[in-house]
Structure 1
Amino acid sequence: MSSLTHQHRESPAAPPAPGHGQIAPAEIATGVVIGRASEYFDFFTYGIASVLVFPSVYFPFAGELEGLLLAFTVFSFAFIGRPFGTSLFMRIQRRWGRGTKLTASLFLLGTATVGIAFLPTYATLGTTSIVLLSIFRFLQGVAFGGSWDGLPSLLALNTPPEKRGWYAMLGQLGAPTGFIVAGALFLFLHASLSQAEFLDWGWRYPFYVAFAINVVALFARLRLVVTNEYTRLLDEVELEPIGTVEIMRAQSGNIFLGAFAALASYALFHLVTVFPLSWIQLHKTQEVTDVLAIQIVGAAIAIVGTVLSGWIADRIGRRSMLGAMAILIGIFSLFAPWLLDGGATGQNMFILIGFGLLGLSYGQAAGVVTSNFERRYRYTGAALTTDFGWLFGAAFAPLVALGLSARFGLVAVSVYLLSGAVCTLVALRINRALGTHQQ
């Protein structure tokens, strides 16, 4: 934690250098939104399939609960792979450039996603199908880590100080947008096909669509990150692909502090998206199509909450905003068992309220303490902070919440969410005590 004692204070966003007047924060934000929306579509496509498809298709030998737990175990592999992907592709960038890195990472993501789409079932390949599914899922995580393009960091350094909360939330809109598209596609397929058709071939279509979206997103992002103007701007603000060993030695404290500062948001993330679908599917309290429809409405509420988070954060500060939301998430956690055990009405309220809180908190979860990093460490530091935030807060959330809830009751959901809220408040308190300023 020694790196925390020497903090780098960012000056207000400087005006663009001569020749950069045409580069506007809105243009950078567009690239961030496109990139994140495409990644989150992949993310939720796999998450929804982990509940509706994989237990039956790849773990038919297990009971319903055990099949879900096995599917969630494989689900976590992507988050384990993310830090490795960041490290690998930072090295690729140092040797071959930013464009090669982004192209290679998204090609790997598309390949892994299509590999899942064409993967034979357990009935055809047996255990080999599970091994391949696990490999493809891990490779998705490696690709997610490698797809970091630095645009969020560039955006943070090129926006007026009084608008940083607003621009920070723009990239976060990719999460609810990706869920709406993925949820709507699964809703349509599940409602239009018989259960046999859906499990046989219908579930594969969202993975084909994910590949197509990745191709479009690749060209949209390359248009930004490989131009001479953006390359010069990234160089001017010293956003460098630092080696993982060097940055962990110099900035490990900042990385883990940043990861834990957003833990409440990450913990809530899967507990309102993937977990409710699995719990309701397991106990048959609602139709799958009804749950997906409510979650799509919830994602729309999350979009509104995300937008509001930018407006609020610019008035009270991003750190204060994140702390206040951690307290609200902690309060929400106390009512979670009652709502989830309250039939369709209670479950729907859990989903809608949870998505609203998610939008408000996740809208400011990215980079709230990355101003702690010296500029030359900020590019890689922000990527690793995000990777570890997902790993610690979200990777095992569906697995732990479902497994413990099945054994000890829904109070486990309360404990999980409450622990995330406490971690966020402690991390923010440490950050403040060390004298870092708000971004």
Structure 2
Amino acid sequence: MATASSTFPTPKSGPLGTRSDEDLAPGDIAVGVIIGRASEYFDFFVFGIASVLVFPQVFFPFVDRLTGTLFAFLIFALAFVVRPLGTLIGMEIQRRFGRSAKLTVALLLLGSSTVAMGLLPGYDTAGTTAVALLALCRVGQGLAMGGSWDGLPSLLALNAPPQRRGWYAMLGQLGAPLGFFVASGVFLYVYSSLDLRDFLSWGWRFPFFAAFAINVVALFARLRLVVTHEYEKRMEEHELDPAHLHQLLPAQGHHIVIGAFAALASYALFHLVTVFPLSWVALSDPAGIDDFMKMELLGAAFAAVAMPMSGLIADKVGRRNFLGSLAVAIGLFAFAAPLMLGGGKPGQAAFLLIGFVLLGLSYGQSAGSVTSNFLPHFRYTGAALTADMAWLLGAAFAPVIALYLSSRFGLGSLTVYLLSGAVCTLLALRVNKKLQTAAVVQD
């Protein structure tokens, strides 16, 4: 059986037994992927949590708490709307100045936008200007997230032995529960340590400041890989360079659409077990926020454990079969979700723990489930845009839609939303299978 070490050159050792700087081991790539993704998710989850605990009072005090939360969630969605544009801008920067320049610009923009949020005045001080600045910073986050695509997940997947592709695909996703765990932990500490007045005055700003330090660490961890000759060599071997949109879309644009819908069940679930339930509890039982956030931390730990399991299982049964099975499981979860979330603390705990396990299993394999369909010279850009579209279609508006519908029609709306994502995933996987079969027959 091939192993990860057999896929890469054996590291060369210097006179003291240390690796040459030009060598690139799979463990180094994995660490870079996990650290980089965790820092990005931290920034995004800090905003998501603040959209529930902070922004309705600080930026939207002129409306009721529910409406303020809905407004905050609309700004939350802006980052996902502009993310594809950030990807295209980043690709152009890469063509002109190289990968390291693109990554540096993107992560500095991400960290600066997040820190700037912590410096913003509230509505009572600056009026609608404060809201506009918050939206502008959120757009900056979205552009940076799109521009930060470094190709490391694709490099991992392409160098993975065929029987371990599920495991390698999972590594790029592991940053999600880690980023959520850290963001929730920081917010929980600040929220529970201060009285509400101090928290809304200055305490909420601390997690945004912490984001800059985390981004600096992530930047150096990823640049350490990206600037090496071995990294560039491996990217060139697999033709992992930006492709022009006018060439990609006519030739293989349909794979972007299929890939986005194939991951929809997982992405729809993503914010419905992280951001949305916190908003529901904050509105219905504000006194229970502390306990609920602690349970979310446990749920994130469950997701972090489930993700490696997803890699092991997917390598046994096949990634697409596994995603299809998880879509069915998410559909079944959708029917029980309203009863659990509305069933008091025991039901809410079950909702979170089961939901996070399903999220870990499904999200661990959702990225790039059909990116192997792209021709080599389209794969780098195609994989990035597929992820962007999956976020936009499945996750961007999930919190605001779920909260609005649930507040008007009850939690049963969750069932409809999650079921629609599961159905889209199953249909997309079916279409993808037919296209592959047709391609084989044609060959």
SS at match of 1:435: helix
Deviation at 1:249, TM superposition (A): 2.6
> By how many angstroms is 1:80 displaced?
0.5
Q: Does 1:71 align with 2:103?
A: no
- 2:412 aligned partner: 411
Show structure 2 runs of 5+ residues with no match: 13-21
1:82–1:145 Cα contact (<8 Å) kept: yes
Structure 1 residue 155 corresponds to structure 2 residue 156: yes
Residue 172 of structure 1: SS of its match in structure 2? coil
C-alpha displacement at 1:250, in angstroms?
A: 2.1
The answer to whether the 8 A contact 1:285-1:344 is kept is no
Q: Matches of 1:24 and 1:100 in 2, distance apart? A: 23
Q: Which aligned pairs between 1:95-106 and structure 2 lie closer than 5 A? A: 95-106=96-107
Q: Secondary structure at the match of 1:364?
A: helix
Q: Which amino acid in the other structure matches residue 202 of structure 1?
A: G
Structure 1 CA distance for aligned equivalents of residues 246 and 113 of structure 2: 27
1:10 equivalent in structure 2:
none
The answer for the alignment partner of 2:389 in structure 1 is 388
1:35 alignment partner in structure 2: 36
Aligned to 2:15: none
Q: Secondary structure at the match of 2:365?
A: coil
Deviation (angstroms), 1:363 = 0.6
Q: Is the 8 A contact 2:276 2:402 kept in 1?
A: yes
Q: Could you tell me which residue of structure 2 aligns to residue 44 of structure 1?
A: 45
Is contact 1:263-1:389 (8 Å) kept?
yes
Which secondary structure does the structure 1 equivalent of 2:240 belong to? coil
Q: What is the CA deviation profile of residues 89-130 of structure 1, one whole-angstrom value per residue up to 9, with x for unaligned ones?
A: 100100111011000111111111111010110011000000
Give 1:5-24 correspondences, 5 Å limit.
Answer: 22-24=23-25
Where does residue 290 of structure 2 map in the other structure? Answer: 289
**Aligned pair in 2 of structure 1 residues 18, 328: CA closer, same or farther (>3 Å)?**
closer
d(CA) in 2 for partners of 1:433, 1:35: 35
SS in 2 for 1:287: helix
Matched with 1:138 is 139
Report if the CA contact (8 A) 2:24-2:225 is conserved.
Answer: no
Letter in 2 for 1:330: G
Say if 1:79 and 1:395, in contact at 8 Å, map to a contact too.
yes
**% identical aligned pairs:** 60
CA distance in 1, matches of 2:317, 2:155: 23
Q: Structure 1: where are the runs of 5+ without partners?
A: 1-12
Q: Give the TM-score normalised by the residue count of structure 2.
A: 0.94
Q: CA deviation at 1:15?
A: 5.1
Residues 98/56 of structure 1: CA separation in 2 closer, same or farther (3 Å cut): same
Question: Deviation at 1:286?
Answer: 5.2
The question of whether the paired residues in 2 share the 8 Å contact of 1:266 and 1:394 is answered with yes
Give the 3-state SS of the residue equivalent to 1:273 in structure 2.
coil
Partner Cα separation in structure 1 for residue 29 and residue 7 of structure 2: 15
* Residue 108 in structure 1 maps to residue 109 in structure 2: yes
| Post-superposition offset of 1:22 | 4.2
Q: Which residue of 2 aligns with 1:241?
A: 242
CA distance in 2, matches of 1:303, 1:286: 28
Q: Structure 2: how far apart are the matches of 1:347 and 1:252?
A: 41
Distance 1:51 1:429, change over 3 A: same
CA contact (8 A) 1:340 1:346 kept: yes
| Cα RMSD, aligned residues only | 1.9
Distance 1:190 1:17 in 2: 49
In structure 2, the partner of 1:167 is 168
Alignment of 1:2-401 (within 5 A): 22-284=23-285, 287-401=288-402
CA–CA distance in structure 2, aligned partners of residues 108 and 15 of structure 1: 35
Are the structure 2 counterparts of residues 87 and 239 from structure 1 closer, same or farther at C-alpha, using a change threshold of 3 Å? same
Q: Which amino acid aligns with 1:145?
A: G
TM-score (norm 1): 0.94
1:245 Cα deviation after fit:
3.2
Separation of aligned partners in 1, 2:244 and 2:68 = 39
User: For residues 356 and 314 of structure 1, what CA distance do their matches in structure 2 show?
Assistant: 18
Change (3 A) 1:18 1:30: closer
State the 1:14 CA deviation: 9.7
Counterpart Cα distance in 1 of 2:154 and 2:207: 31
Provide the C-alpha distance between the structure 1 equivalents of 2:243 and 2:258, rounded to a whole number of angstroms. Answer: 19
Contact 2:59–2:123 (CA<8 Å) still a contact in 1?
yes
Query: Quick check: 2:169–2:364 contact (8 Å CA) kept in 1?
Result: yes
